[in-house]
C-alpha cells in the first residue's frame, strides 16, 4: 500500500511540474489549440425547385436560383446573394404581369454573420427587388443556421433546408449580369436590372465592332420630359421630370426631379388635400455609363421633396437603356419609354 501511495504521489508531482507549477521548470502547453474557422469567402450557388401548394398560384412551379457572394474577415462574414425566381403556370394560363405562362423576377438580399469552426450563422439585413410589372413584394428577412463541409454549405431555417455549393469557376472580375458588377455604394432595387442592361449594351457593342472606338456622347447638362394625360380616376394628370446629369468620360451621375400634379376635372376637392389639385415632388439619384451614343442608367435612391397627404408612397427604383441623338435622349425602362429634350435657354428649369 505504501508503494502504491508513493507511485501516486510521484505521478501528481510530475503532473504539477509539467503544468508549470514549479517556478524553475519550463511551462508546457496546458490547453488545446482552438480549431480554425472554415473558409467561406467566395461565390456559392444554390437551387430550389418546388410546386406552389396554396394560394392563387397553387400548382405553379417555382424555381429559385441563388448566387451568394460572401466576404470573410476572421470570424465576421458579410456579403449578399441574388435570387432569380422563375414561376411557370401549372395550367398554361398566362400571368397578368407578363402575359406569358411564365415570368422571372430578381431579388437581392444583403447578409451578415459569424463563423465558428464549421458552424455558420447568417442573417438577412435588407432586401431589394428589381422593378417591372412582375416585381415581387417584400418577404420577412430570414436567419440561417448553417454547417460548412468543404465546398458545401447546408443552410437550415425553421421551415427549410438548402444546400449551397462553391462556384470554383467564378471570378469576381468576370463580365456578367450580376449585382457584383454594379457601382452603387449600396444595392438598389434597380441595380441587377441595370447590370443586365449593361451586359446587353456590351454585347451590342461587341457585335457592332465600331461602337467600342466611338467617343461617349456628351449627355451632361439639363434635360426635360413632360407629359399630360388622364389619371385612372379621370382627373387630369401632369408629369414633369427635370434631369441634371454630370459626366466624366463614359461615367454619368446626378439626379432628376419628378413632379406629378393632379387636377380635379369635376370641380370636386380631393379629400387628401382639401383642394381641387395636389402636387407630389420626388428627387431620384442616378448613375450610369455612356458607350458611343448608347446609355445605361440606374436609379440608386430617392427623397421626397414635397411631402403630401395624397402621396401613396408607391415608388420603385428603375433601370434604363437609352440612345442619345443631338438634343434628344430616348430612354426605355421595363415596358415603357420616354424622350428627354434639352431645354431652350429661355425656359426656366430648376424648380426646387
Residues 55, 139: one domain? yes
Sort 115 into a burial class: Cβ within 10 Å, 0-12 / 13-18 / 19+: buried
Residues 49, 104: one domain? yes
3-state secondary structure of 19: coil
Contact 37, 115 (CB under 8 A): yes
The whole-number pLDDT of residue 344 equals 66
Residues 119, 205: one domain? no
pTM greater than the 0.85 cutoff: no
Q: Which pLDDT tens digit goes with each residue over 172-215?
A: 443 333 322 223 333 344 445 545 555 555 554 454 444 445 78
Inform me whether the pLDDT recorded for 287 exceeds 70.
yes
DSSP result, 276-308:
SEEEEEEEEEEEEEEETTEEEEEEEEEEEEE--
Residues 230, 336: one domain? yes
Residues 274, 330: one domain? yes
Residues 304, 337: one domain? yes
Domain assignment of residue 272, given as a range: 191-341
Place of cell 441634371: 244
| CATH number for position 99 | 2.40.128
Residue 349 lies in a domain: no
Q: Which pLDDT tens digit goes with each residue over 212-264?
A: 457 899 999 999 999 998 888 889 999 999 999 999 999 999 999 999 999 99
Amino acid at each position: 500500500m505504501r508503494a502504491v501511495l508513493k507511485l501516486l504521489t510521484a505521478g501528481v508531482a510530475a503532473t504539477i511540474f509539467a503544468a508549470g507549477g514549479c517556478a524553475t521548470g519550463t511551462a508546457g502547453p496546458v490547453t488545446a489549440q482552438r480549431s480554425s474557422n472554415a473558409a467561406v469567402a467566395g461565390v456559392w450557388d444554390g437551387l430550389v425547385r418546388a410546386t406552389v401548394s396554396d394560394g392563387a398560384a397553387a400548382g405553379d412551379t417555382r424555381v429559385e436560383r441563388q448566387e451568394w457572394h460572401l466576404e470573410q474577415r476572421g470570424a465576421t462574414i458579410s456579403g449578399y446573394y441574388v435570387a432569380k425566381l422563375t414561376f411557370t403556370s401549372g395550367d398554361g394560363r398566362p400571368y397578368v404581369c407578363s402575359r406569358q405562362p411564365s415570368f422571372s423576377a430578381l431579388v437581392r438580399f444583403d447578409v451578415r454573420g459569424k463563423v465558428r469552426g464549421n458552424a455558420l450563422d447568417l442573417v438577412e439585413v435588407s432586401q431589394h427587388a428589381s422593378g417591372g410589372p412582375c416585381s415581387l413584394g417584400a418577404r420577412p428577412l430570414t436567419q440561417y443556421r448553417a454547417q460548412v463541409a468543404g465546398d458545401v454549405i447546408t443552410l437550415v431555417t425553421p421551415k427549410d433546408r438548402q444546400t449551397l455549393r462553391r462556384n470554383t469557376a467564378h471570378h469576381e472580375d468576370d463580365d456578367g449580369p450580376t449585382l457584383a458588377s454594379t457601382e452603387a455604394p449600396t444595392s438598389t432595387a434597380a441595380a441587377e436590372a441595370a447590370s443586365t442592361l449593361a451586359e446587353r449594351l456590351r454585347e451590342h457593342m461587341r457585335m457592332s465592332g465600331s461602337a467600342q472606338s466611338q467617343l461617349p456622347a456628351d449627355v451632361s447638362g439639363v434635360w426635360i420630359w413632360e407629359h399630360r394625360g388622364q389619371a385612372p380616376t379621370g382627373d387630369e394628370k401632369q408629369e414633369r421630370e427635370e434631369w441634371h446629369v454630370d459626366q466624366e468620360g463614359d461615367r454619368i451621375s446626378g439626379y432628376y426631379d419628378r413632379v406629378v400634379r393632379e387636377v380635379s376635372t369635376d370641380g370636386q376637392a380631393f379629400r387628401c388635400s382639401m383642394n381641387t389639385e395636389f402636387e407630389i415632388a420626388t428627387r431620384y439619384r442616378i448613375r450610369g455609363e455612356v458607350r458611343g451614343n448608347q446609355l445605361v442608367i440606374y436609379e440608386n435612391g430617392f427623397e421626397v421633396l414635397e411631402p403630401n397627404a395624397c402621396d401613396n408612397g408607391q415608388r420603385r427604383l428603375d433601370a434604363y437603356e437609352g440612345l442619345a441623338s443631338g438634343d434628344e435622349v430616348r430612354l426605355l425602362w421595363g415596358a415603357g419609354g420616354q424622350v428627354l429634350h434639352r431645354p431652350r435657354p429661355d425656359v426656366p428649369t430648376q424648380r426646387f
